Chains A and B, each alone.
Chain A
Amino acid sequence: MAIRVQAATFDPGAETNALHAANTGVGAVVSFVGYVRDFNDGHEVAGLFLEHYPGMTEKALGKIAAEAQDRWPLLHLEIVHRVGALEPGEPIVYVGVASAHRQAAFEACAFVMDYLKTRAPFWKKEQTANGPRWVESRTSDDAAAQRWEQ
């Protein structure tokens, strides 16, 4: 299990390749990459600033990863999340999951993203033509996370 919170960008392809390189027992890798879009809620976005809660961020991601490992038989799990200033097109978040079979990897990857969206202390501030704007949370993200609690 690896968790990185960093200002620097990363190469999602390299992260995914590394997930199975060390273990030939890996039969399935599922990865998710989130990117900065140039358009959101009806306005253009010139860039993002990602604020976080140092200390709690790593702790919260660690708890989410540990819960995923409890629920599914995983061989590797990696989470990378950017902080600081980002431009459209840059990767923000990476979740990569390796397991023997596909279903655990698909489900665990979705679970980690759904919980990260609702429980990890990150906040996005968009730079728009009308000035900076804090992004508001979506109720659809809460609903996505709740499906894992049944």
Chain B
Amino acid sequence: MKLNVVFFARYREVLGCEGEALDGDFASIEHVRSHLVQRGGAWQVLAEANLMCARNQDLCKPDERLCEGDEVAFFPPVTGG
């Protein structure tokens, strides 16, 4: 399964990248998250309890199921307005 993963705001800065293409067997967003956190170092920022995520530009919960070609986003709590 090919996914496009993107990061925003503080996560983007801490990770030093805007995103990456991932290829693997990921049942849900939570699996993508734990795969990335297991890299260690800066990636552990994605283990933060208040992390927010989106699938194809819709907010969702970490247990959201994934499909081929999905765009998955991780970001800190939003602070607009």
Contacts and interface: CB of A to CB of B under 8 A. Distances in A.
Give the interface size class of chain A.
Answer: 20 to 34
A72 interface: no
A134 B8 CA distance: 12
Interface in B1-44: 6, 8-10
Contacts of A23: none
A137 to B, nearest CB: 4
Nearest to A113: B81
Contacts of B57: 53, 55-56, 59-60
A124 B80 contact: yes
Contacts, number: 74
A136 interface: yes
A81 B76 contact: no
- Interface SS, A side: mixed
B14 to A, nearest CB: 10
Interface string B47-81: 00010001001110000000000000101111111
A92 interface: yes
Contacts of B54: 53, 56, 121
A53 B81 contact: no
A137 B78 contact: yes
A121 B79 contact: no
A142 B6 CA distance: 24
Interface of B: 6, 8-10, 50, 54, 57-59, 73, 75-81
13 contacts: A50-B80, A51-B9, A53-B8, A56-B73, A60-B57, A117-B80, A121-B75, A122-B78, A123-B78, A124-B80, A134-B79, A136-B79, A137-B76
Given A50-B80, A116-B81, A134-B10, 7 more contacts: A51-B9, A53-B75, A120-B78, A122-B79, A123-B80, A134-B76, A136-B77
